[in-house]
Structure 1
Amino acid sequence: MAFKLLWVVVFTILTYGEGLRSTSEVCNPSDLKGLASFKSGIIEDSSDRLTKWVGLNCCKWEGISCDDTSGRVTEIRLPGFISTDGFLLQSQMKGWLSPSVALISSLEVIDLGGLIGLSGTIPTFIGFRLPKLRKLILYSNNLTGPLPESIGKLSNLEELVLYENQLSGSLPSILGSLKNLNRVLLYSNRFTGMIPDSITNLKNLAQLDLHSNSLSGHIPHRIADLQFLEELDLSSNLLTGSIPLSLTNLTAISVLYLDTNYLQGPIPFPSRSEQMPSLSFLRLHSNLLTGRIPSMFGNLVSLQRVSLANNKLIGAIPTSLGNLSALTELYLYGNRLSGRVPKSIGLLSHLILLDISHNLIRGPLPLQMSSLQNVQTLDLSFNRLNLSSIPKWVAELPSLSRIYLAGCGIQGKIPHFLQTTPSPIQELDLSDNDLSGSIPTWLGSLTQLYSLNLSRNSLASTIPDSITKLQDLGMLDLHSNKLTGSTSQVFEIGHRFPDGSLTYIDLSDNSFSSGIDQIGTGAQIGIRFLNLSNNILQGSLPSSIGRLKAMEIIDLSSNKLGSNLPDSLANLSSLQKMKLQKNRFSGKIPSGFLKLIKLKDMDLSDNLLVGEIPVGKPLSDFPISCYSGNRGLCGKPLTPCKL
């Protein structure tokens, strides 16, 4: 009734509009109709802003602005993020974007970004009905359909922000006619096709972000015509071809992200000094780039973060990198770089992270690296360093807290000096070396340790009791050593610190014989990955294992575990993979396994299980091999049970 009454009033305005305007404050009838249609399309508004849209003076409604002279509505600003008492809260509007919003013909700004639940399409005729539109901001909604061709008629458009929707189709070539556009953010949609060459006509463009779509083809060679471009992000698409040499002419560019595509050929810049003087953030990783890192790369003096990782780059790391005095992060991992680490690396006084892992770099390491006073993360793993021992200066770096030296040819015992580093160690990876001796008891003093990986070594000892002191431990990987005794110390961490962060445990391929009864008896409720396979564990699984409800992968295969499978295993509702083969489990398969709806991989073969396999998914979907070697089992997918 209220809605009908509104339209009676609107009809009156249409008939006697000018006279009524002179006696009271009433919005333009078309504006009222457009706003009323927008409101009617919203079925839920968590911010309650639309409930305050009452009366006929829409210029006083929350989120609405009008022109003082004409009285026409010029702005709709109802962003999802609302600042309240210093806190930023996100609201949502469930419903659809009414195409009647185009009736508000004097609109200059539409900001409905971040409303999450707003669905519908961008009106196909938006370019014809809203000629004054300067800003169209509809990011992080649930909009679908194409970007309409008529958008190219918005000659005054300055900002087009539509990222994180489900928009699809090709980018209209008519975008290139929007001469005033300076900001285009269309990432995380489903746009396909090629980047139209016409986009290079946007001479005032300062920011172009099309990442996380499905755009293919080449980067337009005329991209350098965008002389005011400061940020270009084309990452996470399907782009091919080479990086245009013309990019070096973008004198204002500060952010260039071309990563996660299929780009080939060499890195073309810089080809001479003083090119791209403002470039601060460069990402070219995860492409198919070849050749060497340009010898003049150090001329990009404004660089702060650089990632050239996961390509096919060869040759030595250029000494000119030492000129990058502002550099804080350098990612070169996953290439075929060779030679030695240049001494000039030691000049990078602001460097916080250095990752040159998975290359062909030879040792020894230059002593000049000891000058990296601010480095917090150092990853030299899987090169041809053949260090023999960890350089003592590594443990003397004042800010270093994350040390990755996997596969570096380190021999002997774990050095004691790692106990007394200036900055507490948070992550330590010494895997895939030739370490021997025991796991040192002093590891328990590294109270801020979150990740410990000592796998694939020749360590021969029990797990020290001191490990129970590691309250922040989240990842423990000791697999493929010669460790013996009990696993109970690991599970006791949960006893001591009920709110601990332990999520990943791999103790496989050792000679542990006991401790299985401690699983789930503490408060290790956050464990998601547990691998105890290929040990000599004995005993039965305790019912307390059902408390590990976050578990996604569990592998207890190739042990000597026996007795019945506990019914509580059915409580692991997040379980995706369960490997229990090659043990001595007996009895029936619990019928509760049918509740494990996320289970995609299971193996119960080579046990002593009997009875009928519970009927239904997911158990009936697994192949025969998952149940073979249990002579007493029957039912689908095995042979039918005898009556």
Structure 2
Amino acid sequence: MDHHLLQVVALLTLIAFGGTSWSIEACSPIDLEALMSFKNGIQKDTSGRLAKWIGASCCKWEGIVCENATFRVIQINLPGLISTDTDLSQTQMIGRISPSITLLSSLEIIDLGGLVGLSGAIPDTIGLHLPKLQKLYLYGNNLTGPIPESIGKFPNLQELALQENKLWGSIPMSLGSLQGLKRLLLYSNKLSGIIPDSLGNLINLTELDAHDNALVGNIPNSVGEMKALTKLDLSNNFLSGKMPSSLTNLTAISVLYLNTNSLEGTIAFPSRSGEMSSLGFLRLHNNLLGGNIPSNIGYLVSLQRLSLSNNKLEGALPSSLGNLVSLTELYLSGNFLSDQIPKSLGQLSRLIMLNISRNLIEGPLPQEISSLQNLQTLDLSFNHLQLSAIPKWMANMSSLSNVYLAGCGIQGQIPDFFQTTNSPIQELDLSVNILSGSIPSWIGSLSQLYLLNLSGNSLYSDIPDSFRNLQDLGVLDLHSNRLTGSIAPVFEIEQGIFGGSLKFVDLSENSFSSGIEEIGGGQLSIQFLNLSHNHLEGRLHIPEVLANLTSLKILKLQENLFTGKIPNGFLKLLKLKELNVSNNHLEGEIPEGKPLVDFPESSYSGNKGLCGKPLGPCKL
């Protein structure tokens, strides 16, 4: 049906709706017909807006805006999220986008974003008949199929938002013809193939986001031609090759995310001051980048967050890192970086997070780090620091609350200066060191402590009674030490206003012998409990009180001295995903039902008296 015939049809439609008289409330016959066809393509509209589309006065319909002089429709605003002065509601439309929408030739804005039931393909000819369109929002729907080539035919398009659908196929080369485009959002789809070189023609583009797709191949050098770009996110694809040196031409860019791809080779940073000078966020983690961190990284003077974790970077940290005076977060973990931490890091006065864990960094630590008075988190775990002792100057860092020094060769007793730090300690990880002596009772005075990991040391003592005061404790790991006595203090922690926060408890591979019967119903939040490889007897049976821990997902009790039957109450542990009671002295029938029947035989093996599913049947 050609446009002339459609005009005739539209005119007849207008007559059917109330005659040929024209009013200021009426709209073009062609537009009226197009909107009615769009309405007919929607089977359900939970917002009720389309139900009000009646009569010929479409310029008064909700979601429709007309141009005053011509009465042509210039906007369709039907987003799924509706905001009023008193309410915010999510609605949906079930149906498909009618190709007749292309008859609305004066359209400037189409907003059908967030209509989660809108399915089918984007009309093939959408770009051929809408010469005035400036904004096309089709995000957050259930659209499928490819992005049509005609989408590159919009002469005035400024924003194209197709994210969060199920679109597949490649990115059309025709997108490079959208000279006025400022925002291109394609993320969270199923797009594949390469990034076309033609995107480099989008010299006015400020934001390109195609993360969470299945794009492959290299990042084209032409991306560096988009001089207005302030945000580039190509993360979570399957891109490979080297990071193109042309990215340093993006002098306006403030956010660059290329993480979780297969980028390899060396990092190319600016060769002189001024290039990429606006870059504020640089994320290249989870790739295959190798070589050294270039010294010219210091030219990125606006950088606030730098993440190079989980690559293959090697060599020394460049002293030029100290020039990044705007830096608040620095992530370098999971590489092969070596040599010592440069003293210049002490110049990063705004730094809040410093993570250099899992590298080959050597000691000693420069005292200049103590100048970082805004630093809240310090993670130097699993390096070749061989600290012997924790530097005392660490106690003078006024904001430090999260300290991770696992696997750093620390010897002797736990230093008592942690109880007098200027900022209350919230997370303390001293695991896999050579610590000895007892667990100090002053730890119970760390009123804001959430995480305590002292595992993998040679500590010997009981758990101090003062642990009962740790109301905010959420993670406790003391496994693989020489601890003895009762585990009761852990499970007698005073409840805070909102109840207990304890989620993770690992006391395995010690010599605890009592206290399991003290686990009360107040600790309902525990999800992981490992008491294996101890000398627990539990008054000759597994205490029924464990069945009160209904949030448990993992329960490990193997290699103890438990006798008697598995409590029937374990059938209440409906969230349990892993259970191990092997190698005890249990007997009797395993309670029949879920979740116990779902676990493998290995969960119950080494108990000569146990029977029932998944073990063999009980003898009568």
User: TM-score by structure 1 length?
Assistant: 0.89
Distance 1:339 1:571, change over 3 A: same
Question: Contact between 2:92 and 2:114, CA under 8 Å: does it hold in 1?
Answer: no
**CA offsets per residue over residues 381-428 of structure 1, 9 Å max, x none?**
111111111111212111111111111111111111101111111111
Question: Contact between 1:327 and 1:348, CA under 8 Å: does it hold in 2?
Answer: yes
Distance 1:399 1:80, change over 3 A: farther
Distance 1:18 1:414, change over 3 A: same
Q: How far 1:47 moved relative to its partner? A: 4.9
1-side partners of 2:596 and 2:124: how far apart? 47
Q: How far 1:85 moved relative to its partner? A: 4.5
* Aligned counterpart, 1:98: 97
2-side partners of 1:179 and 1:596: how far apart? 63
2-side partners of 1:600 and 1:345: how far apart? 52
2-side partners of 1:542 and 1:642: how far apart? 25
1-side partners of 2:136 and 2:151: how far apart? 10
Greater Cα shift, 75-84 or 173-182: 75-84
Q: How far 1:293 moved relative to its partner? A: 0.6
2-side partners of 1:65 and 1:112: how far apart? 14
**CA offsets per residue over residues 589-618 of structure 1, 9 Å max, x none?**
222226877x689621111354442xxxxx
Distance 1:96 1:536, change over 3 A: farther
Q: In structure 2, what residue type is equivalent to 1:548?
A: L
Q: In structure 2, what residue type is equivalent to 1:62?
A: E
Aligned residue runs from structure 1 range 287-436, under 5 A = 287-436=287-436
Aligned residue runs from structure 1 range 502-513, under 5 A = 502-513=502-513
1-side partners of 2:82 and 2:568: how far apart? 48
Question: Contact between 2:179 and 2:203, CA under 8 Å: does it hold in 1?
Answer: yes
Question: Contact between 2:241 and 2:263, CA under 8 Å: does it hold in 1?
Answer: yes
**CA offsets per residue over residues 480-512 of structure 1, 9 Å max, x none?**
111112222222237566622221111111111
Q: In structure 2, what residue type is equivalent to 1:590?
A: P
* Aligned counterpart, 2:553: 552
Q: In structure 1, what residue type is equivalent to 2:580?
A: K
Q: In structure 2, what residue type is equivalent to 1:170?
A: S
* Aligned counterpart, 2:6: none
Greater Cα shift, 487-496 or 273-282: 487-496
Distance 1:90 1:405, change over 3 A: farther
Distance 1:420 1:44, change over 3 A: farther
2-side partners of 1:530 and 1:482: how far apart? 18
* Aligned counterpart, 1:529: 528
What SS does structure 1 have at the residue aligned with 2:563? Answer: strand
1-side partners of 2:602 and 2:276: how far apart? 54
2-side partners of 1:41 and 1:449: how far apart? 58
**CA offsets per residue over residues 520-572 of structure 1, 9 Å max, x none?**
x2332222222111111113333343333332222211112222222332222
Question: Contact between 1:309 and 1:334, CA under 8 Å: does it hold in 2?
Answer: yes
Question: Contact between 1:468 and 1:496, CA under 8 Å: does it hold in 2?
Answer: no
2-side partners of 1:570 and 1:19: how far apart? 73
Q: How far 1:479 moved relative to its partner? A: 0.9
Q: How far 1:373 moved relative to its partner? A: 1.0
Aligned residue runs from structure 1 range 598-637, under 5 A = 603-613=603-613, 627=615, 633-634=616-617
Question: Contact between 2:183 and 2:208, CA under 8 Å: does it hold in 1?
Answer: yes
Distance 1:366 1:25, change over 3 A: same
Aligned residue runs from structure 1 range 453-464, under 5 A = 453-464=453-464
Question: Contact between 2:326 and 2:348, CA under 8 Å: does it hold in 1?
Answer: yes
Question: Contact between 2:14 and 2:20, CA under 8 Å: does it hold in 1?
Answer: no
Q: How far 1:436 moved relative to its partner? A: 1.3
Distance 1:159 1:441, change over 3 A: same
2-side partners of 1:607 and 1:156: how far apart? 75
Distance 1:594 1:283, change over 3 A: closer
**CA offsets per residue over residues 88-113 of structure 1, 9 Å max, x none?**
x3513152333244443332212233
Q: How far 1:140 moved relative to its partner? A: 2.5
Distance 1:35 1:538, change over 3 A: farther
Distance 1:129 1:547, change over 3 A: farther
| Pairing 1:217–2:223 present | no
Aligned residue runs from structure 1 range 21-100, under 5 A = 21-23=21-23, 25-39=25-39, 47-50=47-50, 52-53=52-53, 55-85=55-85, 89=88, 91-99=90-98, 100=100
Question: Contact between 1:471 and 1:497, CA under 8 Å: does it hold in 2?
Answer: no
2-side partners of 1:445 and 1:51: how far apart? 64
What SS does structure 1 have at the residue aligned with 2:306? Answer: strand
Q: How far 1:43 moved relative to its partner? A: 5.9
Question: Contact between 1:75 and 1:107, CA under 8 Å: does it hold in 2?
Answer: yes
Greater Cα shift, 25-34 or 63-72: 25-34
2-side partners of 1:551 and 1:594: how far apart? 12
Greater Cα shift, 579-588 or 427-436: 579-588
1-side partners of 2:118 and 2:336: how far apart? 47
* Aligned counterpart, 2:236: 236
Q: How far 1:12 moved relative to its partner? A: 5.1
What SS does structure 1 have at the residue aligned with 2:184? Answer: strand
Question: Contact between 1:494 and 1:524, CA under 8 Å: does it hold in 2?
Answer: no
Identity between Structure 1 and Structure 2 (%): 58
1-side partners of 2:297 and 2:262: how far apart? 22
Q: How far 1:223 moved relative to its partner? A: 1.4
2-side partners of 1:210 and 1:58: how far apart? 37
* Aligned counterpart, 1:170: 170
Aligned residue runs from structure 1 range 429-468, under 5 A = 429-468=429-468
Q: In structure 2, what residue type is equivalent to 1:569?
A: F
**CA offsets per residue over residues 120-151 of structure 1, 9 Å max, x none?**
33223322343332212222333222222221
Greater Cα shift, 488-497 or 140-149: 488-497
Q: How far 1:319 moved relative to its partner? A: 0.7
What SS does structure 2 have at the residue aligned with 1:22? Answer: coil
2-side partners of 1:372 and 1:157: how far apart? 48
1-side partners of 2:62 and 2:308: how far apart? 48
* Aligned counterpart, 2:564: 563
Q: How far 1:353 moved relative to its partner? A: 0.7
Question: Contact between 2:13 and 2:33, CA under 8 Å: does it hold in 1?
Answer: no
Distance 1:273 1:11, change over 3 A: closer
What SS does structure 2 have at the residue aligned with 1:321? Answer: helix
Structure 1 vs Structure 2 CA RMSD: 2.6
User: TM-score by structure 2 length?
Assistant: 0.92
Distance 1:144 1:241, change over 3 A: same
2-side partners of 1:421 and 1:21: how far apart? 82
Question: Contact between 2:17 and 2:56, CA under 8 Å: does it hold in 1?
Answer: no
Q: In structure 1, what residue type is equivalent to 2:582?
A: Q
Question: Contact between 1:43 and 1:93, CA under 8 Å: does it hold in 2?
Answer: no
2-side partners of 1:348 and 1:568: how far apart? 55
